[in-house]
Amino acid sequence: MAARSLTQQGSRLSTGFGVFAECLLTGVWMTLAALPLVTAPAAFAAGVRHLRRHLRHEATGGRHFAGDFRAAVRRGWLVGLSGPVVLWLLWLNLAAVRAGLPGGPFVGTVAVLAAIGAVVAVLRAAAVWEPGASWPTLLREAARRTLRDPAGSLLLVGGFAVVAGTAWVVAPLAVPVTGAVAAAAVAVEARYAAR
């Protein structure tokens, strides 16, 4: 009986470590695919889909990730272009704050919160992406989930805070850690769907 219990514990440990290792590998793939920046949402969508397949014990690998990435970019490149636009608008608002314009701190706070909300909505949309899905529809539904599930949204914000902290301390480690944010997105969306 004790040997069986140890075997089950070992099996759970190896399964958990396997998922962790897959998250790190996925983080590397996602970072490489997101280097042009406008491909970041597609890279995240492909990474999350890869992790979902891994958790369901389906066929996975670099070719599957690359195929998903190509499909996500084909229909979602416009979403990727919105990222630099959001960053530019945020920079403009923060420049207004630094210039001392009346109401600047309030506008700056709203701008930062809106930018964080937009990033979380894109992550949540990418987390449920499937080939052939409409990005505008995914984004509308994700915006609703972002507001209706603040705990899940904060989990994703916390995941990015961990990536930023890791990048601050040891920059190269931020690359594989982004896979943990993809795993968090899988968990957040599974938790929301189960409610």
pLDDT at residue 98 tops 90: no
pLDDT for 107 equals 82
CB-neighbour burial class of residue 145 (10 A; exposed 0-12, middle 13-18, buried 19+): buried
How much of the chain exceeds pLDDT 70, in percent?
92
pLDDT at residue 7 tops 80: no
Identify whether the C-beta of residue 156 lies closer than 8 Å to the C-beta of residue 142.
no
Which two tokens mark 24? 């790190």
Beta carbons within 8 Å of 103's beta carbon, 6+ residues apart: none
pLDDT tens readout for residues 19-73: 788 888 999 999 999 988 889 999 999 999 999 999 888 888 899 999 999 999 9
What 3-state class would DSSP assign to 116?
helix
Q: What predicted TM-score, i.e. pTM, was given to this entire model?
A: 0.85
Of 46, 56, 12, nearest to 185 by C-alpha is 46
pLDDT at residue 2 tops 60: no
Q: Which amino acid is at 75?
A: R
What is the distance between the alpha carbons of residues 160 and 12, in angstroms, rounded to a whole number?
Answer: 27
pLDDT at residue 8 tops 80: no
pLDDT for 6 equals 44
Identify whether the C-beta of residue 84 lies closer than 8 Å to the C-beta of residue 50.
no
pLDDT for 111 equals 85
CB-neighbour burial class of residue 74 (10 A; exposed 0-12, middle 13-18, buried 19+): exposed
pLDDT for 4 equals 55
